[in-house]
C-alpha cells in the first residue's frame, strides 16, 4: 500500500513552505514518527515525521523547493517491497482571494544565476513585500515591482484588488512597471574570468569590482528574517528610547536563590524572567505598547503574549509565551526554558511562534551595551536588553560599584509617543530596582 506524504499546513495563514533537508533517500526504510524531512516557513523551522512505516519509494520535491501546503512531496510504500506507485498531482495551496488557485511551486529551486533577467530581479524583491502568493504570482506575470504598489490591507498588505488597480493605472498612463534600481543591482554583478562555478551554474568564487568574493546563498530562515525586517522598517516609523537600570538587587537575589531554584524546579534561573515580569508591569502601565495598527484604527490587545527572541546557530526565532500575565514568575521561567529548548532542537510547533503581542530581545547576551531592535510586525513595540556591566555609580551621595544595564524600547511612532515610552521604561526600571516578587 502506498501512502502519500504531504507538505503540512503549518499555521492557518501559511500557504507554502521550503523543504530544506531530507533525512532519508529513495530506497531507505523509515519508521512511523521517524523524522523524514525538514521544512522552513515564514513562521517556524521544524522536522516532519513519516506518517507510516515502510520504504521511501519516491521523492517529489528536492531540497530547497518551495512547495504549496497539502502538496505531495514523497511516497512511502507500507508493504516494504519498494514498489513505485503512481502518484496523484500535487494539490496547490488555496488562494486567499476568491479566484483560481495558483499552480504549485516547481519541484526544485536552482541557485540564482549571476546575471538574472529584470523579471527575476523584481520577483526576488517582491518576496520582501507583504502580500499573498497569488499577488506575487500576478506581479511576476506582469513584471511588477510590488514596492511601488500601495497596499490597503492590514499593515499595508497588498491584496489582489490593489494590484489590479495599479496595473490599470499603469496602463492608462503608459508608465513602466519594473524598477530600474532592481535591474541595475543585479546587472552590476559579473562573472570574473576564471571564476569557480558550482554544479547548478551559480558563482561560488571570483571577483566583483576587483574584490575577491565567495558567493553563498542565504538560508531559508535568513531570507525570511530579511523579508520581515525590511517590511517592518517600511511599515513603522521607528523611534528608540533608552533608560539605564541598577540591577544590583536582581543580581544579589538571583545569586542567593539560584541553587534552590534549580533544585526545586529542575532548570536554571536566568535573568530573563526578571525582565519579562518587569515588561509585563510596563504593559499594565502603558497598554498601547501591547497594541497593533489596523488601517486607521488601533487594536488594543486584551491578552499579553510575550515573544522572546532566541538566537540559534542558523538564525533567529521568536517563540511566544501565551497569556503571560496569568503566569507566576516560576511559570514564566518554566515556559521560557521549554520554548528555548524546543527552538534549539527544531521542535517548535506553529502555535509556539504565532500570536505574539509584544517582544523582548536580549542582545546584551553578546556584550552589546545599547541596540535599536526592529519591531516584530504587526506589533508596535519591542524591548531590548543590553549587556550587564559593573560600573561606579552614585548611591546616596556616595560612589559604589553596581551592576547596571541599558534597556531600550523601539516603538511605532504612528501610535506611541515619547511620553508613553518614557512611562513604560520608568515602570520597568522601578520594578527591577525595587523587586518585591518571590522567585522560588
- Taking the C-alpha atoms of residue 187 and residue 168, their distance in angstroms, rounded to an integer, is 29
277 catalytically annotated:
no
Strand partners, 320: 307
CB-based contacts of 249-255 (< 8 A; 24+ apart in sequence): 249/432, 249/433, 249/434, 249/435, 250/274, 250/432, 250/435, 251/388, 251/403, 253/435, 253/439, 254/439
Helix (H, G, I), strand (E, B) or coil at 258: helix
Q: Using alpha carbons only, what angle is made at residue 434 by residues 432 and 436, rounded to the nearest 5 degrees? A: 95
- Inter-axis angle of helices 272-285 and 329-344, to 10 degrees? 120
Give the end-to-end CA distance of the chain in Å, rounded to a whole number.
55
Please provide the DSSP assignment of 202-223 as one string.
-EEEEEETTEEEE--PPPHHHH
Class of residue 33 by CB neighbours under 10 A (exposed 0-12, middle 13-18, buried 19+): exposed
Q: Which of 259, 294, 303, 413 is catalytic?
A: 413
Identify the CA nearest to 338 among candidates 347, 329, 351: 347
Which residues on neighbouring strands pair with residue 385, listed in sequence order? 407
Contact 71, 92 (CB under 8 A): yes
Q: Could you give the CA distance from residue 149 to residue 159 in angstroms, rounded to a whole number?
A: 10
Q: Which of 228, 351, 417, 420 is catalytic?
A: 417
Alpha-carbon distance of 228 to 437, in angstroms, equals 36
Q: Please enumerate in sequence order all residues whose Cβ is within 8 A of that of 245, keeping only pairs 6 or more positions apart, or say none.
A: 404, 405, 406, 407, 428, 429, 432, 433
Contacts of 295 by beta carbon, 8 Å cutoff, 6+ apart: 152, 154
Q: Any idea which residue has 568574493 for its cell?
A: 213
Sheet containing strand 203-208, edge to edge, reads: 196-197, 203-208, 211-214
**Rounded distance between C-alpha atoms, residue 230 and residue 15, angstroms:** 21
Active site residue 417: yes
Q: What is the DSSP letter of 369?
A: S
Taking residue 190's Cβ as centre, other Cβ atoms within 10 Å add up to 14
| Cβ contacts of 59 within 8 Å, gap of 6 or more | 22, 25, 26, 73, 74
Residues identified as active-site: 413, 417
Amino acid at each position: 500500500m502506498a501512502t502519500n506524504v504531504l507538505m503540512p499546513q503549518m499555521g492557518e495563514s501559511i500557504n507554502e513552505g521550503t523543504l530544506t533537508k531530507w533525512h532519508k533517500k529513495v530506497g531507505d526504510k523509515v519508521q512511523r514518527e521517524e523524522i523524514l524531512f525538514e521544512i522552513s516557513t515564514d513562521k517556524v523551522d521544524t522536522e516532519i515525521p513519516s506518517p507510516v512505516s515502510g520504504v521511501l519509494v519516491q521523492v517529489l520535491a528536492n531540497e530547497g523547493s518551495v512547495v504549496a501546503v497539502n502538496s505531495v512531496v514523497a511516497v512511502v510504500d507500507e508493504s516494504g517491497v519498494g514498489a513505485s506507485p503512481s502518484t496523484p498531482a500535487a494539490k496547490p495551496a488555496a488562494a486567499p482571494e476568491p479566484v483560481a488557485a495558483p499552480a504549485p511551486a516547481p519541484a526544485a529551486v536552482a541557485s540564482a544565476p549571476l546575471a538574472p533577467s529584470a523579471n527575476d530581479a523584481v520577483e526576488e524583491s517582491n518576496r520582501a513585500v507583504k502580500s499573498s502568493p497569488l499577488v506575487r504570482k500576478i506581479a511576476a506575470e506582469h513584471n511588477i515591482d510590488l514596492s511601488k504598489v500601495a497596499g490597503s490591507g492590514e499593515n499595508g498588505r497588498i491584496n489582489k484588488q490593489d494590484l489590479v488597480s495599479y496595473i490599470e493605472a499603469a496602463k492608462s498612463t503608459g508608465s513602466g512597471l519594473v524598477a530600474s534600481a532592481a535591474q541595475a543591482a543585479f546587472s552590476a554583478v559579473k562573472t570574473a574570468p576564471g571564476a569557480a562555478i558550482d554544479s547548478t551554474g551559480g558563482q561560488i568564487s571570483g571577483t566583483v569590482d576587483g574584490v575577491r568574493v565567495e558567493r553563498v546563498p542565504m538560508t531559508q530562515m535568513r531570507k525570511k528574517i530579511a523579508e520581515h525586517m525590511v517590511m517592518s522598517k517600511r511599515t513603522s516609523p521607528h523611534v528608540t528610547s533608552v533608560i539605564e537600570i541598577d540591577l544590583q538587587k536582581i543580581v544579589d537575589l538571583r545569586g542567593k536563590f539560584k541553587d534552590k531554584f534549580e533544585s526545586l524546579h529542575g532548570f536554571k534561573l536566568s535573568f530573563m524572567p526578571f525582565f519579562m515580569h518587569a515588561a509585563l508591569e510596563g504593559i499594565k502601565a502603558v497598554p498601547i505598547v501591547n497594541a497593533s495598527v489596523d488601517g486607521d484604527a488601533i487594536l488594543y490587545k486584551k491578552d499579553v503574549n510575550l515573544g522572546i527572541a532566541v538566537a540559534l546557530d542558523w538564525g533567529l526565532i521568536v517563540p511566544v509565551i501565551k497569556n503571560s500575565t496569568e503566569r507566576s514568575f516560576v511559570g514564566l521561567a518554566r515556559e521560557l526554558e521549554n520554548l528555548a529548548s524546543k527552538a534549539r532542537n527544531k521542535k517548535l510547533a506553529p502555535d509556539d511562534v504565532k500570536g505574539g503581542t509584544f517582544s523582548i530581545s536580549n542582545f546584551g547576551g553578546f556584550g552589546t551595551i545599547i541596540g535599536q531592535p526592529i519591531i516584530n510586525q504587526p506589533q508596535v513595540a519591542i524591548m531590548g536588553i543590553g549587556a550587564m556591566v559593573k560600573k561606579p555609580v552614585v548611591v546616596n551621595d556616595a560612589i559604589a560599584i553596581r551592576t547596571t544595564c541599558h534597556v531600550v524600547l523601539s516603538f511605532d511612532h504612528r501610535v506611541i509617543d515619547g511620553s508613553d515610552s518614557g512611562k513604560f521604561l520608568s515602570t520597568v526600571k522601578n520594578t527591577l530596582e525595587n523587586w518585591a516578587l518571590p522567585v522560588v
